[in-house]
């Protein structure tokens, strides 16, 4: 049974097949007549795994449980019961049922350490996300290919625009850093009066979280009234690739320049709250209820949420083409995406093999904007098309023959079946049209005929 502390501590399970991240959203048992608050919501610092063992019956050998009837405590149910999480668990149960049918197994038989990797692999191939579990698929020919690109985005600058935003709340740029010395990051600020700007370098306490709860270094700047550049040089070295928060702490006398540039895996945050699920920009639970205190740092919805203008030295290069075959198809500790240079006239990703390969299926995963969720038709959205998603592309073989032309694409996942299979030493994925942002691709997988 999944319980409150499993969510709060983000415990890991060998049989993880799904995940959740909604607040523990609790309502009083007496309903609308209760004198208690109608809704109490407590958050964990990040998403949590849901294990397969919570999805089948202990007593009835051939019974699966999905959606709102998986095995969870009352408090954990406050998070797992929401529809997106229910859908993730139902996907896991559906795949498990298919594998049980294929292999002649009962639900419990699939839960062994020997069987679970197959279930996880098939789920990940279908688009399921399982935190801390990358796709390991020996049948994927892309894993054996040499992968190159016509260009890759280098983050040396997000160009200042005419717009600026004040520091009425603390703000940060969330940047993907590699192992080694932290680069210097320059911001462009304006002070309305002489004042002091406090800055922090922060990271999340656990890999894959986006809560800046660990401060690695701090700097103060004495500012005169007017405009100037602030160069953050923290002198810190990281021992692993991870996202870091370059924070400008609250000071209403200061505004900071913004940029019109948007890039997959890079965004700005503010210390703020979503009033629908929180009462303040910091979670402060009563003592003794097993809930942690921490700050909320959130991206703003478009058309707001612009990146802060920055200069980075040395430049960041986290968008390597080999990212498309690393088994993770969304930003986590790194962007996990190939992003082309915005000035590349024909962004092209090339997979090459030393021997000809017979390829019958190609799976591609595009960026339909993991940082700006489209919850429902009741939420307002500024675009009819997601600007990060590649609009049109084609795939060519080593002899230049076009084996696929996408037409107008709007989907995250494209599965291309080639009939007959194509025999080739290389595949070129050419991005013909974007929606104005740099071409980006999270994953490429190829399978034989």
For 155-315, CATH gives 2.60.120
Break the chain into its structural domains and give their ranges.
4-126, 141-152+319-448, 155-315
Q: Average pLDDT, whole number, for the chain?
A: 95
The lowest-confidence range among 18-32, 131-145, 434-448 is 18-32
Q: What distance in Å separates the CA atoms of residue 59 and residue 267, rounded to the nearest whole number?
A: 48
296-328 pLDDT, tens per residue?
A: 999 988 888 899 999 999 999 999 999 999 999
- Residue 61's pLDDT band (boundaries 50, 70, 90)? very high
Question: Residue 278 has what pLDDT?
Answer: 74
Q: Which pLDDT band, with edges at 50, 70 and 90, does 173 fall under?
A: very high
Torsion angle, CA of 400/405/410/413, rounded to 10 degrees?
-70
CATH class of the domain at 141-152+319-448 = mainly beta
Look-up of token digits 């306490």: 205
- pTM score: 0.94
Query: What's the pLDDT at 377?
Result: 67
Tens-place pLDDT, residues 389-402: 999 999 999 999 99
- In CATH terms, are 141-152+319-448 and 155-315 the same topology? yes
Percent of the chain with pLDDT over 70: 98
Question: pLDDT of 337-389, one tens digit each?
Answer: 999 999 999 999 999 999 999 999 999 999 998 777 666 667 777 888 899 99
pLDDT of residue 12: 97
pLDDT of the residue at 376: 66
Residue range 236-262: mean pLDDT, rounded? 97
pLDDT at residue number 273: 80
What pLDDT does residue 33 have? 83
């Amino acid at each position: 049974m999944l319980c409150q502390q499993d969510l709060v501590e983000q415990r890991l399970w060998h049989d993880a097949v799904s995940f959740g991240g909604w607040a523990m959203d609790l309502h009083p048992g007496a309903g609308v007549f209760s004198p208690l608050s109608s809704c109490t919501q407590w958050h964990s610092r990040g998403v949590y795994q849901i294990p397969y063992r919570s999805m089948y019956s202990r007593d009835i050998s051939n019974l699966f449980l999905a959606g709102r009837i998986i095995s969870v405590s009352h408090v954990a149910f406050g998070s797992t019961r929401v529809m997106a999480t229910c859908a993730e668990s139902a996907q896991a149960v559906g795949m498990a049922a298919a594998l049980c049918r294929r292999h002649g197994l009962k639900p419990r038989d699939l839960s062994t350490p020997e069987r679970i990797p197959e279930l996880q692999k098939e789920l990940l191939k279908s688009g399921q996300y399982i935190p801390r579990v990358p796709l390991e698929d020996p049948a994927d020919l892309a894993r054996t290919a040499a992968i190159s690109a016509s260009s890759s985005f280098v983050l040396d600058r997000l160009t200042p625009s005419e717009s600026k935003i004040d520091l009425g709340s603390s703000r940060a740029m969330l940047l993907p850093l590699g192992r080694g010395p932290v680069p210097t990051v320059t911001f462009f600020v304006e002070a309305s009066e002489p004042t002091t700007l406090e800055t922090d370098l922060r990271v999340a306490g656990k890999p894959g979280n986006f809560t800046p709860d660990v401060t690695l270094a701090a700097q103060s700047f004495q500012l005169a009234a007017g405009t100037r550049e602030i160069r953050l040089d923290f002198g810190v070295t990281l021992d692993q690739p991870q996202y870091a928060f370059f924070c400008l702490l609250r000071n209403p006398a200061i505004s900071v320049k913004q940029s019109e540039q948007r890039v997959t895996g890079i965004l700005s945050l503010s210390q703020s709250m979503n009033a629908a699920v929180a009462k303040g920009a910091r979670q402060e639970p009563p003592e003794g209820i097993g809930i942690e205190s921490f700050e909320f740092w959130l991206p703003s919805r478009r058309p707001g949420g612009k990146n802060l203008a920055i200069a980075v030295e040395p430049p960041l290069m986290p968008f390597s083409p080999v990212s498309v075959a690393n088994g993770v198809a969304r930003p986590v500790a790194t962007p996990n995406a190939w992003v082309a240079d915005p000035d590349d006239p024909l962004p092209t990703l090339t997979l090459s093999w030393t021997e000809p390969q017979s390829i019958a299926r190609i799976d591609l995963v595009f960026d339909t904007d993991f940082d700006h969720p489209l919850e429902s038709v009741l939420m307002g959205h500024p675009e009819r098309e997601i600007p990060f998603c590649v609009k049109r592309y084609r795939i060519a073989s080593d002899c230049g023959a076009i084996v696929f032309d996408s037409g107008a694409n709007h989907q995250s996942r494209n599965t291309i079946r080639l009939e007959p299979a194509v025999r080739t030493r290389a595949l070129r994925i050419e991005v013909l049209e974007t929606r104005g942002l740099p071409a980006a691709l999270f994953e490429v997988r190829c399978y034989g005929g």
